[in-house]
Amino acid sequence: MALADAHTHLEQFAAQEIPGILQRAQQVGVACIIVAGVTEESSQRVIALAEEHQGVYAGVGIQPSDVKGPLDARACQRLKALAHSNPKVVCISEVGLDFAPGMPSLEWQRQALRQQVRLARELGLPVIFHSRERPGHIADHYETLKVLAEEKVEEVGGAFHYFQWSQEIAQACFDLGLYVSIAKPLLRLPALQAVVKDLPLERLVLETDSYPQPFKRNRLRWTEPKDVLAVAEKIAELKGILLEAVARATTGNLLRLLKGKVAIPTEAP
Ligand SMILES: [Zn+2]
């Protein structure tokens, strides 16, 4: 059984942690892990990590909280050069809009998102994106989807990372040909469980958004890519189907989204 983690920040872990994290993931069948850059510099580190490790792939992008102004043509050229620098760059990520208080100007964020979706289309890479609403303003997500639609994201496809919203917002993603990416909030949010229970398996991918969590004093409780297994098990339980069916579908979905750029060794029957 092969599982896949569509979104992590493994480059933020200490280098000596990486082999153990990858081994623990491999032990539960995680065969593909995408590490998303958040700045130009982190995108470079992500590519180095992908180059070094089997089953690790890279996303390049500037995340909304790191937008420092309009993304100029030279910055776009540098991102493009990064994407071209290695065949293991498989998506533009992490990009998006963040409406939470204290985030950079939304005008800059929108411009950066538009430029990066245009880059994704130029490169033929899917977009794995972030969207966070102002507290109580769930409709903000439609704003993110509107920008993506205006930039014709459906030409390359994509996934809404860390999805934990309503059936209606999921449907708006599906209408754009996008996947929704389910993470560990599914394990603890009954409202999300009720939504995911009825979402079509053929539109779901899995992720952990793993990054170092020193605020959890017990290191064993830090989220790692191995935890996609728990997310897959929860989906199987909610839908009343076999874990194997969830793994096959969600991994297949991610591979389709990545347009054959990721190869997972075929398993023995
Ligand atoms: Zn992330």
The domain spanning residue 7 has which CATH number? Answer: 3.20.20.140
Residue 237 lies in a domain: yes
What's residue 263's pLDDT?
A: 82
What's residue 266's pLDDT?
A: 59
CA 9–ligand 1 middle distance (angstroms): 6
Question: Largest Cα–Cα distance of the chain, in whole Å?
Answer: 52
Residue 263 lies in a domain: no
Q: Is the pLDDT of residue 256 over 70?
A: yes
Residue 130 lies in a domain: yes
- Rounded Cα gap, residues 119 and 83, in angstroms: 10
Cα angle for residues 157, 131, 74 (degrees, 5° grid): 70
For the segment 172-213, what is each residue's pLDDT rounded down to a tens digit? 999 999 999 999 999 999 999 999 999 999 999 999 999 999
Number of domains within the chain: 1
- Rounded Cα gap, residues 38 and 129, in angstroms: 11
In this structure, what token pair is assigned to residue 108?
Answer: 């800059």
For the segment 84-138, what is each residue's pLDDT rounded down to a tens digit? 999 999 999 999 999 999 999 999 999 999 999 999 999 999 999 999 999 999 9
Confidence (pTM): 0.96
- The range of the structural domain enclosing residue 27 comes to 3-257
CA 10–ligand 1 middle distance (angstroms): 10
DSSP H/E element including 3: strand 3-8
Mean pLDDT calculated for residue range 11-21: 97
Phi, psi of 223 (to 5 degrees): -70, 135
Q: Looking at the DSSP assignment, which residues form a beta bridge with residue 131?
A: 97
CA 67–ligand 1 middle distance (angstroms): 15
Residue 267 lies in a domain: no
Collapsing DSSP to helix, strand or coil, 251 comes out as: helix
CA 35–ligand 1 middle distance (angstroms): 9
